[in-house]
Structure formats: structure tokens, C-alpha cells
């Protein structure tokens, strides 16, 4: 549980709680008493079953939602300040691409909001598309791409603004196993190259173990942090590691760390 | 850095919580349009609307006067309303049935059916002003009774518009099935007739109502407009026109009010029927 | 041979052609029957060739003009106003939807009335609008505008509302200003819905304008139509106008569909690619077509 109470770090959460009102006007607690501190350059997963509030927590970090209790800092700023300064990129579960823009124009979108010149935008977008291996498709429209390719565009777009932090909300959950593995490798490669802090939400234990430095395990009703598991697999990670004894051990540890036992 | 880390415990202010509460929203949704409506009627009654449109109370009588006159000629109004409603109702009913049958036939002709419906749908875009005189000519020999053959002619116009609407939508309802539904039926070795009764027919019901939502107001509008061209003088639409020609604007406004009311009431009726019929679809 | 026929039967253009021919056949059969049994067949159902003959004959029917000249001159007045009213109505409709999106108060205030106006037989108000404006040209314009206004407003509003929550969130993470939200997301996404509204509105505007003509003699299409019916000129002028206005009504929707294709990003580029560079681009072109078909927007929003 190292770093749990530290106040320094890229992302710091202290006693975060979110309560919302349901349709009948009753208070429902989505998450409660979340403490965490994430270091610069770390790859952290928020892992848990649906209803554990992992997405809610991520949305609080991104200032898409306000915590009703507690304190939250992103690079020493409030989430809102961080958002206004384009400190993070957000990757949604759905690719959220714009039908009327070409692939390249989709990647350029956030850069337009940052008042970059046309040339700067174009160069940056092409570089990012090269990084995700989609240079040949830059003039295509999203509807012409497969789901995996669309998610690549999404990732290229998030990296395009040179954010310090990458927030990812189950980005690969809609993809098939083969595409997912390929994108795992791509994501890790780009992450190593750019040295971003990544906060990755998932409900897939293998995925969390394969990608992360540390896994924050959340349990539902109400959503709370039940364990933090260090993943000491060496880097760079390779697909063969998934076959290893140690990998399976880690998966087992994570599984057992859910409160109330198993993960089903 | 430490001083930047000020606490920002967020509790929404009472005012914000109040205005965002579902109850307050509901009240707003009702009160705002009502207030707007009252404002318009007040402007109308206070003759400010007249100044805006550069007109006078002779052409645009105030609401109280319209309702006053309506009370005086109730019998005539009811008679004309019934005539219009008969045309709109019969045309809508027959047209919808015919449109549905056309859609059924088209759905059994997988290749040629769709193109046929494109043609049927095009009928909805033919101006009523062109259709109505043609129907008048075609029904000249139907009866020696002018009132009767006029009615048939008007019904035919409404029928055509309603059929075009229903045909297009019903075809979609009969053919746009849930994925794998046909495959599932095939695993049951279901006959074409069975598939139609158990799958296509129920699937098309919501689409029937989509069509009706368009064709109920459309058939009232069509009935009213085709009255302009009819040989026999009757119906709400014709009364609007005749009274304006005679410069009896306030009587014309009585019929306009009635026309708006039957448009709204018939739609409300349709919504009630829909909620009853489609109860199991939600 | 058989496979060619099957291929043809699957082509939409062939189906439409086939059924058009069937319709023509039915009309001609009817016309022949009418010719044999009725006293004045031209009033009821003339042969199509007779109508065409009337259209292309140099014979003067009224004021030194041939039938076609009469129809074209009349339609210039009628359709010109219809078009202008249509543009004004569409613009007003889009603006209102925009305002409603901008302000929740305005939306709540106006929305029920926007629904109500659809239920009111607006065409039935034509005579009174003529009485209020006192001018045939401005009433053509006003009625065409009112009829175009509400399909555009409701469909555009539906377009604004179709923007997914994810897109709002995405733009929020970019700290996008409201202006950018409209320019880069809401407006582009509303365009297909806007066109759906236009497709509903266009035939209505044509109908409205012709109808207003019949209320007052001023040389519009509807006016000539009534005159021809009363045998003030050749009855074939009547049939010419009937077919012409039916054509304009139907074609107005198709025309807007073409305009929509023209402004839809990628469609023209794909078409050009398909035409010029054969195979490689063709594959994508076809794929694109397929997706486009799947992506049907509601034909009208009620």
C-alpha cells in the first residue's frame, strides 16, 4: 500500500466520494473514501466489476463530474484547471469519432481547439497516425474503418495533444481478442516512447495485469478501493509473458483481493 | 504548490439543487409554454398583435368575439365539421388499409416490391391542388347527387395520400426485422404464412402508428383543401374560403378555430389508441 | 440471360422504371376505355401522347402563347415564390432549432407549440393569410415559409439532440468553448437531419404555393389550372399542369437529396474515385455505399 497517503504525485485523490440522487430522489453512493497517489510515468489500472464506480472515479479526475466529497489534484491543480490547460487526453470506450471528418481531421480536432496553425496540426496528426500505423488511411472516413482501426484513431487523437496524463475508460472492451492483443502491444510501445502517466479503467483482470505497473482493485456497493496490487513483471512486456507462471499467480492475487472473495 | 492545494469540498448550493430537482423541472416544462400561450392570447385580445401584422379586428377578430360568434352558429358548424370528418376519416381508413395491403404484397415480392413502393411513396409528394380536380373529373358519373359524388372525390384524394404514407412505413415494418429473427423462424421450419403472422405482422404495428402520426393530420389537411375544389359546397375548409370571399372574416375564424381543434383532438385520440395498442411493445 | 434479369430486378432504378411503365400502361388502358365510353374523354383521362402533343405543338392557346409557354410562365411566378418561401422558412426553422438548443427556457416555451402547429391544417389557413397580407405574392411566400418552417425546425432540433453524451464529454476534456461545440459538433451533426426536414418541406411548399394561386387570379400555376378546368383554354393545359406539378413535387425531394449528397463529406470524393481509379478505390466506394444505406435517418420526426 505504498504511496497511499502521500500527497505528492501526478494524480492524488483523498477521501473521494461521489453521491448522486436517483430518480426517486434518494441518495445513492457511487464511490466512497477513495485514496490514491499516482506517480509520474506510471501505468495504473482501475479494476473492478460493473457498478464499482471505476468510471465515475475516472470521470472525476477528468473533471467530467464533480466529487461530492474529498479532494482531488492533478499535477497539483484542480481537475478543472488541468482540463483547461489540456493536461490530459481521454479515450472513451466508444471511439467517438466524427462521421463528417476524415481520419486525419479527427485527430486534428483537439489541436484546432488549442489554436495551432494548420501546418502544425497536419504534421502532428500525420505523425500520430504513423505511430498507430494508420498513415495509409488518413483520408478515409471513420465509417470505412473497422472497430479496431477506429479505436486506434481514438488513441492517436488522445496522444496528439501531447498530454501529460492519459485517461482511458475501457478502451478495448468492445474489441475482439486478437485486435485487443495487438492494441495492447501498440499502447505499451507508444506509452514507453512518450512516458505518459496512464490511468486505465478495465474489468478484464488479464488486461490489467498485462498492462499495468499497479492495479487499484475496486469493489462495488458502494464502490471502494479494496486493494492495490503491484505488478512486477519486467518491461518491455511481451505476449509470451501471459503464458508464464508468474503472470497467472498475479492474476490469482488480484482475483483474491476483491472483497467478498471471487470476481463473479 | 501547497497553497494551490486548497480544499474544494463541493456541495451544491441550495438554489442550484432546487432548480435542478426533477420536480422543479416538471413545473417549468408546464408553466413556461402555458405562460407563452397566455402572452400570445393576451397580445391578440389586447389588439397588439394586429399592430404587429398591420391588420385590423375586422380581418383578425379578437378571441372573445370568435367564441361569441361560434355560440350563435353551432348547428351549422357541427354539420360542416361532420362532413369534413367523414371525408378525412373514411379516406384515412380506406387509404391506410389499401396502403398496408400494398406493403404486404410488396414484402412478398422481394425484388420488385421496393421499387414499386418508391412509386407509391411519390404519390404523397403530388400537390393536392393538382390531385383534387382530377378526382373531381373522374367521379363525375358516380352519382347524380352532387353532394355524394363530391364526397367520393374528396375521399379519393385523402385515400391516396394516406395509402402512400402507410405503404412506405408498413413496408419498413414488415421487412426491417430484428437481426436473426428470420433465421430463428427458419430453424423452426416456419411457413411463410406463419412468419407473416407471428413475426412480420406484430413487427409492423409500431410502424403503422408512425404512418398514422403523419397521416392523421395530413388527411384532415387534405380533406380541407380538397373541399376548395369540390363541386358541392360543404365542410370546414370550404366554409373558411366562402366566408372570406364574402368578407365575413369572423365566421371564417370560427371555422379556422374548429379546424385547429379537430387537428389537435384527433392526434390526441391517436396517441391514446397508440398507448393502448402498443402497451406490450415497451 | 436469367442471371441478367435477376441482376436487373435487384437494381432500384430498374424497379422504378418497371413500375413507371406499369403505371403508364394502366393509364393508357384506362384512357382507351374512357375514350370508348365517355362523351368528353379529354376531361377525364386523355391519352398520354395527346398531352405530350399539346405540350410540343406550336398552337397558341392563350394570349399568343403555346401551352408549354403558358405553363412555364405561370410556374415561374408560383415556384419562384414557393422557393423563396421555402428558403425563408427553412432558415427560420434552423434558427429556431438553434435558439432552442441554446436556451432551455426557449425550448420549453416553444416546443409544445412547434408540435401543435404540425397538427393544424395550415393549408386551410391559406385564404385568411391571403386576406391578412392582401397580396398574392406575399401570401404564397408566407404560407410556403410556414409549411417549410416546422419540419425543418423539428428535424434540426432532433439532430441537435442526437449528439451523444460521449461527444459532449470529449469536447469537455478539450476545454472546448461553447462556440466550438456548435461549430465543430452540433452544427455538422445536425446537417443530415436538417436535410430530412427539407425533404419533407419542399413538396409542401410547392403544394402551398399552387393552392394559394387557386384562391386569386394572378397567372400562377393554380390559377391557370382553374381556368383550364373551366374551359377558358385547352383542357390539355390542365393535364399539363397536373403532370408538371406532380413532377415538381416529387422532384423537389429528389433534388434536395442530391444537394445533400453533394455537401456530405466524402460522398463526392468517393464517387470521383470510383469513376477515375478503378479497382482499389472501388472497393472502398462500395463499402461506403453499404454503410450509407444502413445509416437511415428518420424520414420525419413527429
B13 — contact with chain A (CB < 8 Å)?
Answer: no
pLDDT: which is higher, B282 or A125: A125
Q: Is residue C107 part of a domain?
A: yes
Nearest chain A residue to B7 by CA distance is A71
Which among B5, B7, B17 is the top mutation candidate for probing chain A, defined by the most A β-carbons within 10 Å of its own β-carbon?
A: B5
Q: Is residue C181 part of a domain?
A: yes
Low-confidence ranges of chain C (pLDDT < 50): 278-302
Q: Between chains, do A140 and C167 touch, taking CB under 8 Å as contact?
A: no
Q: Is residue C227 part of a domain?
A: yes
- C84, C142: one domain: yes
pLDDT: which is higher, C8 or A84: A84
Q: Is residue C135 part of a domain?
A: yes
Mean pLDDT within A194-207: 90
In the three-class reduction of DSSP (H, G, I as helix; E, B as strand; rest coil), residue A257 is classed as coil
Residue B252 has pLDDT above 60, yes or no: yes
Q: Are strands A11-21 and A43-47 parallel, antiparallel or unpaired?
A: unpaired
Residue C285 has what pLDDT? 40
- C173, C224: one domain: yes
The residues pairing with A38 across neighbouring beta strands, listed in sequence order, are A11
Q: Is residue C298 part of a domain?
A: yes
Mean pLDDT within A200-214: 91
Q: Is residue C114 part of a domain?
A: yes
In the three-class reduction of DSSP (H, G, I as helix; E, B as strand; rest coil), residue A74 is classed as strand
Q: Minimal Cα–Cα distance from B9 to chain A, Å?
A: 6
Q: Which helix (H) or strand (E) holds B103?
A: helix B74-108
The chains found to touch B (3+ Cβ pairs under 8 angstroms) are A, C
Q: Between chains, do B9 and A78 touch, taking CB under 8 Å as contact?
A: no
Q: Where are the domains of chain A?
A: 93-162
| Nearest-10 Cα torsion for A57, A60, A66, A69 | 50
Residue A246 to residue A260: CA distance in whole angstroms: 24
Q: What is the ipTM of this complex?
A: 0.83
Residue B227 has pLDDT above 70, yes or no: yes
Name the residue range of residue C229's domain.
Answer: 61-264
How confident is residue B8, by pLDDT bands cut at 50, 70 and 90?
very low
Residue B251 to residue B244: CA distance in whole angstroms: 8
The residues pairing with A13 across neighbouring beta strands, listed in sequence order, are A36, A72
For C35-81, what is each residue's pLDDT tens digit? 888 777 888 888 888 888 888 887 777 777 888 888 888 888 888 88
For B170-224, what is each residue's pLDDT tens digit? 999 998 888 788 888 888 888 888 888 888 899 999 999 999 998 999 999 999 9
Of C226, C29, C220, C251, the closest CA to residue B130 belongs to: C226
Residue B93 has what pLDDT? 97
- Count, residues in chain B: 282
Residue C221 has what pLDDT? 86
Across the interface, which of B130, B221, B249 has its CB nearest the CB of C210? B130
Q: Between chains, do C266 and A102 touch, taking CB under 8 Å as contact?
A: yes
Q: Between chains, do A68 and B10 touch, taking CB under 8 Å as contact?
A: yes
Residue A240 to residue B200: CA distance in whole angstroms: 51
Q: Is residue C245 part of a domain?
A: yes
Judged by average pLDDT, the poorest of A70-79, A244-253, C58-67, C233-242 is C58-67
For B154-167, what is each residue's pLDDT tens digit? 999 999 999 999 99
Domains of chain B: 76-281 (1.10.3720.10)
Residue A261 has pLDDT above 70, yes or no: no
Identify the DSSP state of A241: G
Identify the DSSP state of A90: E
Q: What are phi and psi of A217, to 5 degrees?
A: -95, 125
Residue C282 has what pLDDT? 39
Nearest chain B residue to C9 by CA distance is B111
- C8, C75: one domain: no
For C268-299, what is each residue's pLDDT tens digit? 777 777 666 544 443 444 444 444 433 434 43
Q: How many domains does chain C have?
A: 3
Q: Which helix (H) or strand (E) holds A214?
A: strand A214-219
- C246, C294: one domain: no
Q: Say how many C-beta atoms besides its own lie within 10 A of residue B38's C-beta.
A: 10
Residue B146 has pLDDT above 80, yes or no: yes
- C41, C136: one domain: no
Using omega within 30 degrees of 0 as the cis cutoff, is the peptide bond preceding A236 cis? yes
How confident is residue B103, by pLDDT bands cut at 50, 70 and 90?
very high
- C21, C116: one domain: no
Residue C290 has what pLDDT? 40
Q: Is residue C55 part of a domain?
A: no
- C176 contacts in chain A (CB < 8 Å): 113
State chain A's mean pLDDT as an integer: 85
Q: Between chains, do C172 and A63 touch, taking CB under 8 Å as contact?
A: yes
Q: Which three cell numbers stand for residue A25?
A: 430522489
Residue C175's contacts (CB-CB under 8 Å, 6 or more residues apart) are: A83, A84, A85, A86, A113
Instruction: Enumerate residues 146 to 185 of chain C having a beta carbon within 8 A of any beta carbon in chain A.
Output: 164, 166-167, 169-177, 180, 184-185
Residue B10 has what pLDDT? 45
Q: Report which listed range, A125-139, B103-117, C210-224, is most confident.
A: A125-139
Q: What is the pTM for the complete model shown?
A: 0.83
- C7, C125: one domain: no
- Among residues of chain A, what percentage have pLDDT more than 70? 95
- C33, C163: one domain: no
Amino acid at each position: 500500500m505504498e504511496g497511499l497517503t502521500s500527497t505528492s504525485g501526478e494524480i492524488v485523490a483523498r477521501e473521494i466520494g461521489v453521491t448522486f440522487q436517483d430518480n426517486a430522489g434518494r441518495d445513492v453512493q457511487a464511490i466512497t473514501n477513495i485514496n490514491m497517489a499516482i506517480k509520474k510515468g506510471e501505468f495504473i489500472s482501475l479494476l473492478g466489476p460493473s457498478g464499482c464506480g471505476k468510471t465515475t472515479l475516472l470521470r472525476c479526475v477528468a473533471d467530467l463530474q464533480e466529487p461530492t466529497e474529498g479532494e482531488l489534484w492533478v499535477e497539483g491543480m484542480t481537475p478543472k484547471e488541468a482540463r483547461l490547460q489540456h493536461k490530459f487526453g481521454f479515450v472513451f470506450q466508444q471511439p467517438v469519432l466524427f462521421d463528417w471528418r476524415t481520419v486525419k481531421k479527427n485527430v486534428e480536432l483537439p489541436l484546432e481547439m488549442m489554436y495551432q496553425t494548420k501546418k502544425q496540426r497536419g504534421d502532428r496528426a500525420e505523425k500520430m497516425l504513423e505511430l498507430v500505423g494508420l498513415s495509409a488511411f488518413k483520408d478515409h472516413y471513420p465509417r470505412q474503418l473497422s472497430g479496431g482501426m477506429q479505436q486506434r484513431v481514438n488513441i492517436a487523437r488522445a496522444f496528439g495533444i501531447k498530454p501529460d496524463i492519459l485517461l482511458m475508460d475501457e478502451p478495448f472492451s468492445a474489441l475482439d481478442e486478437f485486435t485487443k492483443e495487438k492494441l495492447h502491444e501498440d499502447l505499451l510501445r507508444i506509452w514507453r516512447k512518450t512516458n505518459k502517466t496512464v490511468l486505465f479503467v478495465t474489468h478484464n483482470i488479464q488486461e490489467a495485469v498485462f498492462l499495468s505497473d499497479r492495479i487499484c482493485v475496486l469493489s462495488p456497493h458502494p464502490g471502494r478501493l479494496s486493494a492495490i496490487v503491484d505488478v512486477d513483471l519486467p518491461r518491455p512486456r511481451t505476449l509470451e509473458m501471459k503464458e508464464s507462471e508468474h503472470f497467472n499467480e498475479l492474476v490469482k492475487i488480484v482475483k483474491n483481493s476483491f472483497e467478498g472473495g471471487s470476481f463473479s | 504548490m501547497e497553497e494551490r492545494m486548497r480544499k474544494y469540498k463541493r456541495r451544491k448550493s441550495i438554489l442550484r439543487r432546487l432548480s435542478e430537482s426533477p420536480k422543479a423541472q416538471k413545473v417549468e416544462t408546464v408553466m413556461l409554454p402555458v405562460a407563452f400561450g397566455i402572452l400570445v392570447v393576451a397580445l391578440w385580445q389586447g389588439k397588439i398583435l394586429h399592430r404587429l401584422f398591420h391588420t385590423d379586428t375586422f380581418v383578425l377578430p379578437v378571441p372573445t368575439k370568435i367564441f361569441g360568434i361560434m355560440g350563435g352558429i353551432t348547428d351549422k358548424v357541427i354539420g360542416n365539421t361532420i362532413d369534413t370528418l367523414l371525408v378525412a376519416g373514411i379516406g384515412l381508413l380506406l387509404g391506410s388499409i389499401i396502403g398496408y395491403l400494398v406493403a404486404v404484397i410488396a414484402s412478398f415480392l422481394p425484388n420488385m416490391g421496393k421499387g414499386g413502393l418508391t412509386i407509391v411513396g411519390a404519390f404523397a409528394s403530388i400537390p393536392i391542388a393538382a390531385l383534387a380536380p382530377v378526382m373531381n373529373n373522374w367521379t363525375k358519373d358516380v352519382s347524380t347527387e352532387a353532394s355524394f359524388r363530391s364526397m367520393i372525390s374528396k375521399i379519393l384524394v385523402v385515400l391516396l395520400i394516406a395509402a402512400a404514407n402507410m405503404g412506405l412505413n408498413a413496408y419498413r415494418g414488415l421487412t426491417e426485422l430484428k437481426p436473426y429473427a428470420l433465421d430463428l423462424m427458419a430453424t423452426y421450419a416456419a411457413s411463410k404464412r406463419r412468419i407473416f403472422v407471428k413475426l412480420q405482422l406484430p413487427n409492423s404495428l409500431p410502424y403503422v402508428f408512425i404512418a398514422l402520426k403523419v397521416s392523421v393530420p395530413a388527411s384532415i389537411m387534405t380533406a380541407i383543401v380538397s373541399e376548395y375544389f369540390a363541386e358541392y359546397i360543404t365542410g370546414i375548409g370550404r366554409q373558411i374560403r366562402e366566408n372570406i370571399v364574402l368578407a365575413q372574416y369572423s365566421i371564417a375564424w370560427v371555422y379556422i378555430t374548429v379546424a385547429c381543434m379537430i387537428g389537435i383532438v384527433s392526434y390526441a385520440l391517436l396517441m391514446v389508441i397508440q398507448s393502448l395498442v402498443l402497451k406490450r411493445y415497451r | 440471360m436469367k442471371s441478367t434479369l435477376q441482376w436487373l430486378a435487384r437494381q432500384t432504378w430498374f424497379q422504378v422504371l418497371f413500375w413507371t411503365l406499369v403505371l403508364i400502361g394502366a393509364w393508357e388502358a384506362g384512357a382507351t376505355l374512357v375514350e370508348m365510353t365517355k362523351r368528353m374523354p379529354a376531361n377525364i383521362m386523355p391519352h398520354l401522347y395527346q398531352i405530350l402533343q399539346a405540350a410540343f405543338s406550336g398552337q397558341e392557346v392563350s394570349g399568343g402563347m403555346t401551352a408549354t409557354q403558358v405553363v412555364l410562365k405561370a410556374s415561374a411566378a408560383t415556384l419562384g415564390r414557393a422557393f423563396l418561401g421555402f428558403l425563408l422558412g427553412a432558415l427560420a426553422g434552423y434558427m429556431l432549432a438553434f435558439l432552442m438548443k441554446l436556451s432551455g427556457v426557449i425550448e420549453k416555451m416553444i416546443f409544445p407549440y412547434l408540435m401543435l402547429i404540425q397538427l393544424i391544417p395550415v393549408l386551410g389557413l391559406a385564404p385568411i393569410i391571403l386576406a391578412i397580407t392582401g397580396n398574392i405574392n406575399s401570401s404564397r411566400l408566407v404560407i410556403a415559409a410556414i409549411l417549410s418552417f416546422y419540419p425543418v425546425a423539428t428535424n434540426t432540433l432532433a439532430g441537435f439532440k442526437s449528439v451523444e453524451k460521449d461527444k459532449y464529454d470529449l469536447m469537455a476534456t478539450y476545454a472546448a468553448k461553447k462556440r466550438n461545440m456548435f461549430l465543430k459538433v452540433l452544427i455538422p451533426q445536425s446537417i443530415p437531419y436538417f436535410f430530412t426536414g427539407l425533404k419533407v418541406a419542399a413538396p409542401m411548399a410547392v403544394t402551398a404555393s399552387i393552392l394559394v394561386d387557386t384562391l386569386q387570379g394572378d397567372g400562377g400555376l393554380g390559377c391557370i389550372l382553374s381556368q383550364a378546368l373551366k374551359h377558358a383554354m385547352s383542357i390539355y393545359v390542365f393535364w399539363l399542369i397536373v403532370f408538371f406539378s406532380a413532377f415538381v413535387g416529387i422532384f423537389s425531394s429528389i433534388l434536395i437529396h442530391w444537394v445533400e449528397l453533394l455537401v456530405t463529406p466524402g460522398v463526392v470524393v468517393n464517387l470521383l474515385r470510383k469513376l477515375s481509379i478503378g479497382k482499389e478505390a472501388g472497393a472502398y466506394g462500395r463499402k461506403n455505399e453499404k454503410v450509407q444505406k444502413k445509416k437511415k435517418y428518420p424520414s420525419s420526426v413527429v
